[in-house]
Amino acid sequence: MSSTGDFSEVMSSITSNNAGNKFTLASFIAALILLSYTGYDTVIHRTDIISDFAEDNQYRITFSTQNETMQEVETLQDDETTNIQFDLSELSISEGYSIGLIEVVITSEEEEGISVQCDSVAGDIIENDLTAQWNDTSNDLSGQDSSCQPINLKLRVYPNYDGETITVLAINEYQALQNWSQTGWGLGALSLDLDLDVNSPLGFDFGNQDSDEEITVDVTVVTFSVSIEEI
């Protein structure tokens, strides 16, 4: 190959590379200008949009409730303890609703009076694998009565639910509802122990006529849905 041909190829290669370098440099400068303009436009002219995402807004969250009820009637003998199970999967909970808490009322067939010696009745909600707030300080898991009055128990199921309207600060509605979009609470069965201690008038039960007691357990499962509005 001649020296003239070699020189032409080298010059062509240099010219080609130089053109490529110029194109790359021009592209870089154009990109830099575009980024600078975008940043300036965002900071100077669109501060309100940034504020909407950066600052917390105030939202009011309210709860609508629906109650589901279950009942069991048990006849207990003196000094007897029995366990009752309420399977929460048997409830028909409306779509969009979650179980918030469970209320239990235990009543006996006796009514307080001059001639009646009220029996001693006790009830305990037994901790099991039911998904609930077992350590919540608002729970009333045990109760006892010997004055013919109802026993009221309560178990909070959904974290922090009490049915009261609340106000929260959040960037948007989605974030504001995060604490109220949980699933998996209220799965399982409510377990309840009942205990009876018959108290006969003056301590005597002539003819063994007061040896048992009919006890009614009413369970109210409070379910809720959530509404939100910006304040």
In the listed set 54, 69, 89, which residue is the last one of a domain according to the structure? 54
Cα separation, 123 vs 142, in Å, equals 6
Kindly state the helix (H) or strand (E) to which residue 32 belongs, with its residue range. helix 3-45
Residues 74 and 163 in one domain: yes
Torsion over CA of 41, 45, 48 and 51, rounded to 10 degrees? 40
CATH number of residue 133's parent domain: 2.60.120.380
DSSP state of 172: S
Measured N-to-C along each axis, helices 47-54 and 3-45 cross at an angle, to the nearest 10 degrees, of: 70
Output the six-digit token pair for 182.
């949980």
Asked if residue 135 and residue 73 are part of one domain, the reply reads yes
Higher pLDDT, 6 or 95: 95
Least confident range of 36-50, 92-106, 119-133, 208-222? 36-50
Looking at the structure, tell me whether residues 155 and 100 fall in a common domain. yes
105 pLDDT above the threshold of 90: yes
Q: Are residues 102 and 50 in the same domain?
A: no
**Does residue 172 carry a pLDDT above 60?**
yes
Residues 151 and 217 in one domain: yes
Mean of pLDDT values over 77-85? 94
Q: Are residues 9 and 91 in the same domain?
A: no
Q: What is the largest CA-CA distance in the chain?
A: 136
Q: Count structural domains, the chain.
A: 2
* C-alpha span between 151 and 121 (Å, rounded): 8
pLDDT of amino acid 163: 95
The whole-number pLDDT of residue 133 equals: 98
Q: Do residue 208 and residue 224 come from a single domain? A: yes
- pLDDT tens digits along 109-155: 876 554 467 899 999 999 999 999 999 999 999 999 999 999 999 99
pTM of structure: 0.71
pLDDT given at position 30: 74
Quote the percentage of the chain above a pLDDT of 90.
62
Average pLDDT over residues 54-63: 90
Sequence-ordered list of residues with C-beta below 8 angstroms from that of 141, at least 6 positions apart, any chain: 124, 125, 127, 153, 155
* φ, ψ (nearest 5 deg) of residue 151: -105, 125
| CA–CA distance, 226 with 229 (Å, rounded to integer) | 10
| Res 114: pLDDT | 45
How confident is the model over 4-54, as pLDDT tens digits? 555 455 445 544 555 556 666 677 687 778 766 655 554 445 545 544 556
Task: Say whether both 165 and 211 belong to one domain.
Answer: yes
Measured between alpha carbons, how far is 103 from 157 in angstroms, rounded to an integer?
A: 10
Tell me the average pLDDT of the chain.
83
For residue 2, the model assigns a pLDDT of 53
- Strand 81-87 to strand 189-197: parallel, antiparallel, or no bridges (unpaired)? antiparallel
Question: Is the per-residue pLDDT at 209 higher than 90?
Answer: no
Same domain, 77 and 178: yes
Same domain (yes/no): 161, 122: yes
Length of the chain: 231
Regarding whether 40 and 132 lie in a shared domain, the answer is: no
The residue type of 79 is D
pLDDT at 4: 53
State residue 9's pLDDT score.
59
Q: What b/e readout covers 106-136, taking b as 16+ CB neighbours within 10 angstroms?
A: bbbebeeeeeebbbebbbbbeeeebebbeeb
**Looking at the structure, do residues 50 and 89 belong to the same domain, yes or no?**
no
- Provide the pLDDT for residue 11: 47
Phi, psi of 122 (to 5 degrees): -130, 145
Where is the domain boundary, 31, 54, 77? 54
Beta strands in the chain, from DSSP E residues, in sequence order? 57-77, 81-87, 98-108, 120-126, 142-145, 151-156, 166-170, 189-197, 212-230
Strand positions, DSSP E, 5-52: none
- Domain with 178, as residue range(s), is 60-230
Contact 215, 164 (CB under 8 A): no
Residue 99, pLDDT above cutoff 90: yes
Angstrom distance (rounded) from CA 128 to CA 52: 45
**What pLDDT is recorded for position 202?**
55
Lowest mean pLDDT among 81-95, 111-125, 140-154, 215-229: 111-125
